[in-house]
Amino acid sequence: MARPAMTRRRKALIFAANNGTCYLCEGRISVGEAWEAEHVIPWEVSRDDSDDNLRPAHAKCHAVKTSRDRKDIAKVHRIEAKHKGFWPKSRAQLKSRGFSPTRSALDRPSFNPEIQDGDHE
């Protein structure tokens, strides 16, 4: 499904529905000030381009939020790739802490010649 076009009319409806307020900083967007229709849930994550997911935001506020969203978007893509089997499996070996000894080395017959098999306590 193609994304609906962001027409001037649609942008004006989004602006009016939110009373001309930036939803990120809650500041008033004044006449002539640069603003953008911003996705509440990033489009790359939800693929939701409906008016319910769009809010007006100052251009600077939008840029800051978008830079923060990039990390979450990348994580969503990684999870999706792993789910679909596209993500390469790690070649790193798992490090083990090893097994804890059940008895000290001196109690073993192979280490202590004074102890014969069956002689230890």
Lowest mean pLDDT among 29-38, 69-78, 83-92: 83-92
Q: What is the pLDDT of residue 112?
A: 58
**Judging by DSSP bridges, how do beta strands 35-39 and 54-58 pair with one another?**
antiparallel
8-84: CATH topology is His-Me finger endonuclease fold (3.40.1800)
Checking if the pLDDT of 105 tops 90, the result is no
For the chain, domain boundaries = 8-84
| Angstrom distance (rounded) from CA 114 to CA 76 | 63
| Angstrom distance (rounded) from CA 42 to CA 48 | 8
